[in-house]
Structure 1
Amino acid sequence: MTKQKFDDLAQDYDASRPRYPDALIARVVAALPTGRRLRVLDAGAGTGIALEGLVHHLGEAHDYVAVDVSSGMVELGRQKMGFVDWKVEPVEPALARFDDELDLIVAAQAYQWLDREQFVHGALAALRSGGVLAVLQNNRDHDSSAFLSAYEDLLERRSPGYARDYRAFDIAGELAGPFVAAGGTVTTHAVAWTRPIAVDAFVRMATSSTQVQRAVAAHGPSVLHEVEALAESAAFGGVVDVAYRSEGYLAHKP
């Protein structure tokens, strides 16, 4: 398979990316069927950050499959969670192999990279009765933070084609189309929280992002110095507060 952009960034990605708030993961778990061994597919799993939270709540005694196009991400995920069935391949064909078999499909921080219409219809077909499709996102809350607004300004100047509203599409509406037509429902949940993070860790997190990698490719490593200087200007005692708004969109199959 062709080398993917995240293959060499797996360690930084896994070490620096925020996990999902426990309250949001609990919402997903509460929506799942009970009294049976569950089959869970993490679509665009990366290193399994969403799975970490799910397994914490559900335990290992279920069937977990994780799919991602990056071999580097999958290899690190396999090292962390060997009980998961890890696969290196695109999400859409992997999903098509399931037919009325899954209890949970989660797309965490990956939904915008997928063929969204194909993915949602495929998820509806792959889920069993009572199953759930969960789209999860950790979004920087740049509207509540001068520091994060300035960081978005930097990305928009330096990262070709980037705009801070790149995920501003109607996720609930996209899920509702097929699921509500089939008699299901869609619910939305949000959690606002703040993550204190050391300046060097913030730079490491930024380095693991697609947007900053594009900026570095276009303008060179000086972009990382700009990121570091911005974080240092907002830090107190070497630590900067990063505000997040984490969202969960849960589509329930009847």
Structure 2
Amino acid sequence: MSVIDDTQRFNDLAGLYERFRPSYPRAALDRITAYVRAGTAARGGGPALLIDVGAGTGISARALRAAFGPEPEIIGVEPGVGMRTTAESEHGPGGPREAMDIRFIEGTAESLPAANGTASLVMAAQAAHWFDRPAFYAEAVRVLRPGGAVALMANDKDGERSALVDEYETFLERHGDGYSRHYRDIDFAAELNRVDGLGDPDDSATPWVRTLEPDAFIGLAMSTTMMQPVVRRLGQERISAELRALLERHGATTQVELAYVTRLHLRRRRH
């Protein structure tokens, strides 16, 4: 049996990912923007280059463009062929989002395609748990300008605030291949605090609620890698029936209110 390359794991899910995955709350994006602008202003300039690492289909890169406006250059670094192709189709010449002016290039977190000291922001959204993080942190320090920022951001479904989310996670744990809802319980703050050259810690958590239709909830579930072993085991028809029954038990047959918390970790390059 061949080993799946993690960088290509989402190739077959790119369409679902682009269609059903959420963006990020404005409060978290505003926090990133203010932090980056404060660091660059202290050195007499503005944001020049923003790098989105593990950019996927471009959801987080588009969020950066909306938050920062038209001036900074934005590069999305994505190793996955299917994800990058989907991002490029949305933003390429003649595409419906050409005005977003985002460039997507092949690359990895552990070997960023950027020169030393050129970036105002290196961000990983929904991606850092896949990385060789010590290598990524070293690369982030290398490419950041003095005063530039590294940002780790992730949307997590919040089972503590939502019985529906709690039961959904239990379903995945029961039927998945060793899946645990705690798979992203990584102390990113402590890791970043140990990185030489980074300081000015800013850690936050933003709770929010996403409202979506039942079909979109099922599409969101199918866009995840942890659901794929369940699909192989149970089949899509049974999974859809099980998820609709779950929604019915929680009174969400016409509208689903999905509790999230967005966790954000910011650090600044000191010198």
TM-score for the superposition, normalised by structure 1 = 0.92
CA–CA separation in structure 1 for the residues paired with 2:49 and 2:66: 16
Please name the residue that 1:20 is paired with: 24
What does residue 68 of structure 1 align with?
Answer: 78
Displacement of 1:108 after TM fit?
0.3
- State whether residues 234 and 240 of structure 1, in contact with CA within 8 Å, keep that contact through their aligned partners in structure 2: no
Q: Secondary structure of 1:19's partner?
A: coil
Structure 2 distance, partners of 1:224, 1:38, is: 45
Of 6, 10, 34, the residue aligned with 1:6 is: 10
Measure the CA separation in 1 of the matches of 2:147 and 2:245. Answer: 49
What's the CA shift string for 1:149-197, capped at 9, x where partnerless?
Answer: 100100001110210111111110111101xx43622210111111111
Q: In the superposition, relative to structure 1, how do residues 131 and 168 fare at CA in structure 2: closer, same or farther (>3 Å)?
A: same
CA shift at 1:43, angstroms? 0.5
Structure 1 residues 175 and 192, CA gap change in structure 2 (3 angstroms): same
Give the AA of the match of 2:197.
A
Is 1:176 matched up with 2:180?
A: no
CA distance in 1, matches of 2:197, 2:108: 26
CA distance in 2, matches of 1:145, 1:170: 23
Determine whether 1:227 maps to 2:210.
no
Q: Distance in 2 between matches of 1:10 and 1:112?
A: 19
From 206, 211, 215, give the equivalent of 1:200. 215
Q: Secondary structure at 1:14's aligned position in 2?
A: helix
Match of 1:91 in 2: 109
Deviation of 1:14 after TM superposition, in Å, equals 1.3
Contact in 2 for aligned 1:37/1:62 (Cα 8 Å): yes
- Structure 1 CA distance for aligned equivalents of residues 251 and 133 of structure 2: 38
Paired residue for 1:121? 138
SS of equivalent residue, structure 2 residue 27:
helix
- Residues 218/94 of structure 1: CA separation in 2 closer, same or farther (3 Å cut): farther
Contact 1:176/1:185 (<8 A) preserved: no
Q: Report the equivalent of 1:134.
A: 151
Q: Which residue pairs with 1:41 in the alignment? A: 51
Query: Which SS does the other structure have where 1:136 is aligned?
Result: strand
1:4 partner letter = Q
Q: What do the CA deviations read for 1:12-35 (whole angstroms, capped 9, x no partner)?
A: 211211110001000000011243
Picking from 193, 200, 205, the partner of 1:190 is 205
Q: Deviations over 1:31-70 (max 9, x none)?
A: 1124335111110001111122211121233211111122
SS of 1:29's equivalent? helix
The SS at the match of 1:30 is: helix
Structure 1 match to 2:63: 53
Q: Contact between 1:136 and 1:249, CA under 8 Å: does it hold in 2?
A: yes
Identity of aligned residues (%): 33
Residue 95 of structure 2: aligned partner = none
For structure 2, the residue ranges without an aligned partner over 5 or more in a row are 93-100
